[in-house]
Structure 1
Amino acid sequence: MAASISIIAAKFLTKRARNPEAVAATFTPIWRSKRGFKIKNLGNHIMLFSFDSETKVDTILANALWSFDKHLMISQKYDGVSKIEDLNFNSTPFWIQLHGLPMKFMTTTVAETLCEPAGQILKLPNAKTEECGGFMRVWVMVDISQPLCRGRMVTLDDNRELCVSFKYERLPNLCYWCGRLTHNDRDCDRWIESEGSLTDADKEYGAWLKASL
């Protein structure tokens, strides 16, 4: 009986064409599949990765987020039957760190409630919301068609407001004008409409969104 094949469909969020050989050279040592994998380039920045182990595919997807050449690669399991054009490449999981949260509020309930505007809260036995010595850490499925959430305001018992900042682990390139992961600064509508008149002072996002691991 032929071995079953498990497939990952991935879309690279970049305008540059990607060479399958270069992609394979990057992910082979990272994914460490015993029998390797095959790549099929479908065009439109979409590639299929075929494995002979469903467990390996599940492990790869459980450890997302993945990027190539600092650009986001959105990945999902593919059944090999559905039309590629029907696949949704609009979301990807991120570990979000919450910084500046007072000790009293460093609980799972508070952290997950604050992260709800950033996306769907994800929970797995080995990926739980946790305190990591000074900040909370939450796994969130983020809609990359929207600007990244930079943080939340918290109202303390004495009615004072406190800003809790979000930092994203393994954050790839993003647009510093609008906070989206779907394009670079120079491809942003804000930049194009400004005819190059925007300055760094106009950027609403920056490298400060990237978490230190």
Structure 2
Amino acid sequence: MAAELEELWKKLSFTEEEDESIVLGRNTTEAAIAIGKNCLLMKVLSHRSINIDALRKNLRMVWKPNKSIQINEVENELYLVEFGDGRDKKRVMEMCPWTYEKSLILLREFEGERIPKEISLWQSPFWVQIHNLSLKSRTRETGRAIEAKLGEVLEVDVEESGVHWGKFLRVRVKIDVTKKLVRGKKIVIEGGEQRWIAFKYERLPNFCYRCGLLSHGLKDCKEGNDNEDQVDLSKLQYGAWL
């Protein structure tokens, strides 16, 4: 409907009365801006239709807010979540990623200056484990350098010394969910030999083992026509090991 209205608007010849602009002052937006501070924009990364009543019930149960939350659809597949308590909003954002029916939920801050159809949600934070690093490379600087190639680095899980001795280095990074999952990277340390480091994603939702996209599962992938039950998972480029 929005696209149809826009096309219609382009074809119109305005009358003198229609061409007169209405100027909206600050007092017309104050209430929405104030409430917007406790709001998030939300999208479920799924090709399947979403039942908004079921979505509301599920998120209230999973998020367990101290006060009420309201969820409204402001555009096709775009929702606005209004929290009664800003602390609930903060906690929900800090505990991302979330899922609904195994599909990833995308969340971002309220954008009052834009109309809903102009708003795009395409990023989500994940804790990513970096495996197969040499001991001398398990530092905050290494984590930032490597994960910066995936997206915006939010945090590197190391001690105050800047070093972490463990089975892997752990980094929180905001990734582009429209792209294929990155399974690892080739690195060269201080002019030494090239080696492969592997990534593992914590709390990874449903994704496609064939193409590596988060927007659908294997059975909904357009790159293959075979029955999911007949697929040899060992021959696919992605898997549960991610």
How far does residue 122 in structure 1 lie from its aligned partner after superposition? 1.5
Deviation sequence 1:68-90 (CA, Å, 0-9, x none): 11110111122455211111211
**Residue of structure 1 in register with 2:60 after alignment:** 28
CA 1:83–1:204: 2 relative to 1, 3 Å = same
The one of 157, 174, 177 aligned to 1:129: 157
Conserved? CA contact 1:7–1:51, under 8 Å: yes
Normalising by structure 2, what TM-score?
Answer: 0.73
TM-fit CA distance, 1:10 = 0.9
Residue 174 (structure 2) aligned to one of 124, 141, 160? 141
CA distance in 1, matches of 2:59, 2:227: 38
Structure 2 counterparts to residues 147-166 of structure 1, below 5 A: 147-155=180-188, 159-166=192-199
Shift of 1:153: 2.2
Give the equivalent residue in structure 1 for 2:24.
none
Of residues 98-107 and 57-66 in structure 1, the stretch that sits farther from structure 2 once superposed is: 57-66
Distance 2:81 2:185 in 1: 38
Report the alpha carbon displacement of residue 201 of structure 1 after superposing the two structures with TM. 4.5
- 1:69-108 correspondence runs (5 A): 69-80=101-112, 82-108=114-140
Q: Is the 8 A contact 1:122 1:139 kept in 2?
A: yes
SS in 1 for 2:114: coil
Q: CA deviation at 1:202?
A: 4.1
Is the CA contact (8 Å cut-off) linking 2:104 and 2:206 kept in structure 1? yes
Give how far 1:60 is off. 1.4
Does the 8 A contact of 1:191 with 1:198 survive in 2? no
Report how far residue 25 of structure 1 moved: 2.6
Looking at structure 2, the residues matched to 44 and 27 of structure 1 have their Cα atoms a distance apart, in angstroms, of 19
Q: C-alpha displacement at 1:149, in angstroms?
A: 1.0
Q: How many corresponding residue pairs?
A: 203
Matched residues in 2 for 1:79 and 1:44: separation?
A: 17
Q: Are 2:75 and 2:117, in contact at CA under 8 Å, matched by a contact in 1? A: no
Letter matched to residue 57 of structure 1: K
How far 1:33 sits from its partner (Å)?
1.8
Matched AA of 2:239: G
**Misfit runs of 4+, over 6 Å:** 194-198
Amino acid at match of 2:86: E
Q: Runs of 5+ in structure 1 lacking a partner?
A: none
Residue 132 of structure 1 deviates from its aligned partner by: 6.6
The code of the aligned residue for 2:99 comes to: S
Tell me by how many angstroms 1:158 deviates: 8.5
Q: Could you say which residue in structure 2 is the equivalent of 1:19?
A: 51
Among 194, 208, 212, which residue is 2:241 paired with? 208
| Matched position secondary structure for 1:162 | strand
Whether contact under 8 Å (2:66, 2:85) holds in the other structure is: no
For 1:195 and 1:29, the matched residues in 2 are separated by 35
| Distance in 1 between residues matched to 2:90 and 2:151, nearest whole Å | 21
